[in-house]
Amino acid sequence: MRGIGAAAAALMLAGTMLGTAASTASAAPTEGPRAAASCPTGWGSGAKTGGVAMSGDHLTDIRTGQHECYDRIVFDVPGGGQVGYQVQYVDRFYADPSGEYIPVAGGAILDIGIGAWSVDLDTGKWTYPGKVGKTLPTVNINGYRTFRDTKFGGTSEGQTQVGLGVRARLPFRVIQLEDKVVVDVAHSWTS
């Protein structure tokens, strides 16, 4: 009798394990390459500012990257610590302080101000080789889902300005890291 009870218990346990395995196998993966993306969209599209207005250090590079949920632009300011920033959507992009209108392609334009010079005032040498009104020389956004255009607005009073053309007015976030500022623009308003 004990043998029959043990066999029944073993069969019940095996059935429970099979049922659990079957339900687990049919669930969507949550990790790894087949995981479905969960894209945050609560960033909003309002103006964002932060950090020290001017770090006193110099912008040395601007680079971009693509993510499953957003396109990213990174501003490198070595030695800048917590670099200040101001990012907002504008109807038209104007170079500061000249007021020169600079056309930027896309359905919407982000005016990005980074609290760092692009030129070394002591030597007169450019630390970032941008030319006012021209496409960023170190950036290639061909094939990006959200980014459409980049324009250098100039550097003045300790701030460098960039116009970023995007597909539409989409949510964005700004991340302040040691020696850099990161701007992510979502691919959509919903995940």
3 SS3 class = helix
- pLDDT tens sequence for the chain (191 residues): 444 444 444 434 344 333 433 333 333 333 444 444 678 778 999 999 997 655 568 999 999 999 999 999 999 999 877 889 999 999 999 998 899 999 999 999 999 999 999 999 889 999 999 999 999 999 999 999 999 999 999 999 889 999 999 999 999 999 998 899 999 999 998 75
63, amino acid identity: R
Q: Which domains does the chain have, with CATH numbers?
A: 48-186 (2.60.40.3500)
37 SS3 class = coil
Q: Record the pTM.
A: 0.79
Vertex 147, ends 143 and 153: CA angle to 5°?
Answer: 130
CB 176 within 8 A of CB 53: no
